[in-house]
Amino acid sequence: MTLDRRAFMAGSAAAATLGFGSAAAADDKVIRFGMPMDFTKIYTFVTAEYSQGQRDYITLVNERGGVNGYKIVTDITDHANDIPRAIEAYERFKREGAVLIDPLSTPVARALVPRVLEDRINMITAFSGRSDAADGSAFPYVMPLSPNYWTQAGVIIDFFRQQDKDLKGKKVVLVHIDTPFGREPLPIFQALAQKLGYEFQAFPYTPPGNDQAAIWPQVRRARPDWIVFWGAGVGQTTALSEAVRNGLPMDRMSSSVWLSESDMEVAGKDATKGVLKFQAAAGGRDPKVIQDILKEVAAKGKGAGPEGKIGTSYYNMGVMMGAIMVEGVRVAFAKAPNGPVSGPWLNEGLTSITDFSAEGLMPAMTSTKEDHQGGGKGRIVRWDGSQFVPQTDWFTANQDLVWAEIHKYSEEFKKSGK
């Protein structure tokens, strides 16, 4: 080896000085979105596709001339689900003038909540973060703008009720990862069990969930009428494989939003035929906006990733969130055409979105200063061996229970930290 000590030390020092001084050029006709996400650690199963969808949509908007003459600039970086790294990225984006931040990570979102509330920068916590952030009066700058986990649980149970007409005396089990994320929907399932009269049983498995062999025979023995499995990434494919192995009825199993085409491929496309999941944005390439991206972005070689990923569940969720952000910018311009572009200015837009459906990609959503969830509409889709087929229209259910839960925790948040 010829690399000597001095060269190694000098190289490291040079890299350090270069890496410190990265400043972005200021431009007055841009709106900056900071997107520090976890590309390398825990959320890898979703980040790449989600981010690709988001960026492709924003490229589409910019190619068409931006919003009101303003271009939207996305700053992407990896925070590896590590809080010091995420805070560094957040502070850097803040200095560069970002008015919106999308960390796509529950721990990072939790850690950033005090900062965004203080700095008045909009934080998108789509399908992540605190569910009680739906209460805009407690979290003015935290924007889930998507159906939270309590809503997803409420909708899934309502679908079961629609199928069986009556859930009285039925048995619903929840197989979930034993983390705060996995335990989050429990109160809704329990409250609904009281209301609808089904019997409820929960089966926690230890994180990260790559071994669930001990749980599923117990699930089979419980003879459930309906099964909900609640996890993400490897936990989901393992749950499906174990369910198949134990001969559980696939058409009576439902997941939250975290189930994708690639999960189905891992667990076996045909073996898992019939599995249900909650869907927040239409999948596939049929929606008009996905077609537009294919024509105006991907075909011109401006796509942010492999073209084959366009139209997957998570890609479309990225497009959905990109569209909502841009719609927020549009509404903000409609309210205050001269800006100035700032966190509070964008917040006015993001909290006044009315009946926006991204040209049919998603259910019409309406956000207000109080409701940051945006109505909580979704639908149940079924895997037919090659794609997820809608079983219902866009609908929402049990929002009274969901909001009771939201208020319970947001009230607590208001009291704490004082």
Shortest approach of other proteins to residue 178 CB, angstroms? 8
114 lies in the site for other proteins, by CB under 8 A:
yes
Round to whole Å and give the CA distance between 352 and 67: 17
Choice between 183 and 220, CB closer to other proteins: 183
What string marks each residue from 34 to 63 as x (binds other proteins by CB under 8 A) or -?
A: -----xx-------x--xx-----------
Shortest approach of other proteins to residue 40 CB, angstroms? 5
18 lies in the site for other proteins, by CB under 8 A:
yes
Please answer whether residues 30 and 70 qualify as being in contact, where contact means their C-beta atoms are separated by less than 8 angstroms: yes
Q: Which stretch binds other proteins (CB under 8 A): 79-87, 217-225, 307-315, 395-403?
A: 79-87
Q: Taking CB under 8 A as the criterion, which residues in 162-181 touch other proteins?
A: 179-180
Cα separations (Å) of 166 from 157, 193, 201? Answer: 11, 12, 18
Round to whole Å and give the CA distance between 201 and 318: 33
3-class SS of residue 349: helix
Q: Residues in contact with other proteins, total (CB under 8 A)?
A: 55
Terminus-to-terminus CA distance in the chain, angstroms?
59
76 lies in the site for other proteins, by CB under 8 A:
yes
Amino acid sitting at position 182:
G
- Residues linked to residue 227 through DSSP beta bridges, in sequence order: 173, 253
Choice between 49 and 158, CB closer to other proteins: 49
Round to whole Å and give the CA distance between 100 and 116: 9
84 lies in the site for other proteins, by CB under 8 A:
yes
Cα separations (Å) of 354 from 128, 327, 351, 366? Answer: 23, 10, 9, 4
Round to whole Å and give the CA distance between 152 and 174: 13
338 lies in the site for other proteins, by CB under 8 A:
no
- Sole binder of other proteins in the list 162, 171, 187, 225 (CB under 8 A): 187
119 lies in the site for other proteins, by CB under 8 A:
no
Q: Look at the chain and count its residues.
A: 418
416 lies in the site for other proteins, by CB under 8 A:
yes
Q: Taking CB under 8 A as the criterion, which residues in 384-413 touch other proteins?
A: 405, 409, 412-413
Which token pair is 37?
């996400």
**CB burial of residue 322 (10 Å; 0-12, 13-18, 19+):** buried
208 lies in the site for other proteins, by CB under 8 A:
no
293 lies in the site for other proteins, by CB under 8 A:
no
Amino acid sitting at position 196:
L
300 lies in the site for other proteins, by CB under 8 A:
no
Round to whole Å and give the CA distance between 34 and 197: 46
Shortest approach of other proteins to residue 356 CB, angstroms? 27
Shortest approach of other proteins to residue 258 CB, angstroms? 17
Choice between 83 and 364, CB closer to other proteins: 83
CA 166 to chain centre: 31
Contacts to other proteins by CB under 8 A = 5, 8-9, 12, 15-16, 18-20, 22, 39-40, 48, 51-52, 76-78, 80, 82-85, 87-92, 95, 106-107, 110-111, 113-115, 130-132, 179-180, 183-184, 186-187, 304-305, 405, 409, 412-413, 416-418
